[in-house]
């Protein structure tokens, strides 16, 4: 059985979401770098942005596509024509040792969802989110979650508009020597989600 069935790929031939291919790694790294430098300035520490290495990012995305840690991990891309304009990566969540599994059932974590800013407001983010939800549902997940930088009002607003809410968990990461506080958002995957 294919671990990544696509019960509902969204879009037309010109605008769509599909699984990332190894050849997409450079474009995915480009989207990440452009998005971080433009939309995340003021959210991510300057040291993270200044230390961006496109070659290292491309290698990491190649590995994520060709050698995912588990069959439940995946990377999707949003394309406009032939151009990769967005990405989403997902997989099983890493649970805090003090946290029990969610009572609703299995969870899939949205690790990253980025759309290059100049391609924003064209539905790419919504299509990516819908595709991740479909794939998660197909593997038996009943809930999605995502960690969002506390100062990232754009992503928080996007998730809130899609019916997500904060679940009360927070964490602080070391981002190149600077604390980066994140809050966790989630949604249940009902039939209408």
pTM beyond 0.75: yes
Domain boundaries, the chain: 15-188
Tell me if 75 sits within 8 A of 20, measured CB to CB.
Answer: yes
pLDDT (tens digit, 9 = 90+) per residue, 146-192? 999 999 999 999 999 999 999 999 999 888 888 889 999 999 997 54
Q: Using CA atoms, how far apart are residues 84 and 165, in angstroms rounded to an integer?
A: 29
Query: Which uninterrupted H or E stretch holds 108?
Result: strand 107-115
Structure tokens at 70: 């588990």
Parallel, antiparallel, or unpaired: how do β-strands 107-115 and 178-188 relate? unpaired
Q: Using CA atoms, how far apart are residues 151 and 181, in angstroms rounded to an integer?
A: 8
Q: Using CA atoms, how far apart are residues 154 and 81, in angstroms rounded to an integer?
A: 25
Q: Domain 15-188 adopts which CATH fold? A: Aminopeptidase (3.40.630)
Planar angle of CA 64, 35, 117, nearest 5 degrees: 125
pLDDT tens string, the chain, 193 residues long: the values are: 344 444 445 544 588 999 999 999 999 999 999 988 887 788 887 888 888 899 999 999 999 999 999 999 999 999 999 899 999 999 999 877 777 788 888 999 999 999 998 866 777 999 999 999 999 999 999 999 999 999 999 999 999 999 999 999 999 988 888 888 999 999 999 754 4
Tell me if 74 sits within 8 A of 59, measured CB to CB.
Answer: no
- Please give the pLDDT value at position 173: 86
């Amino acid at each position: 059985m294919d671990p990544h069935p696509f019960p509902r790929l969204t879009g037309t031939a010109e605008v769509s979401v599909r699984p990332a291919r190894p050849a997409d790694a450079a474009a995915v790294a480009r989207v990440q770098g452009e998005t971080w430098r433009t939309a995340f300035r003021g959210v991510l520490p300057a040291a993270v942005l200044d230390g961006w290495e496109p070659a290292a990012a491309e290698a990491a995305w190649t590995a994520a596509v060709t050698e995912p840690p588990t069959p439940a991990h995946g990377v999707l891309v949003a394309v406009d024509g032939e151009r990769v304009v967005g990405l989403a990566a997902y997989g099983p969540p890493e649970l805090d040792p003090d946290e029990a599994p969610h009572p609703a059932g299995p969870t899939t974590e949205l690790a990253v969802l980025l759309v290059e800013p100049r391609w924003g407001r064209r539905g790419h983010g919504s299509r990516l989110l819908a595709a991740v939800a479909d794939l998660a549902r197909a593997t038996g997940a009943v809930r999605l979650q995502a960690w969002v930088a506390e100062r990232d009002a754009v992503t928080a607003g996007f998730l809130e508009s899609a019916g997500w809410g904060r679940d009360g968990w927070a964490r602080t990461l070391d981002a190149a020597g600077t604390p980066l506080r994140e809050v966790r958002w989630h949604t249940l995957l009902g039939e209408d989600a």
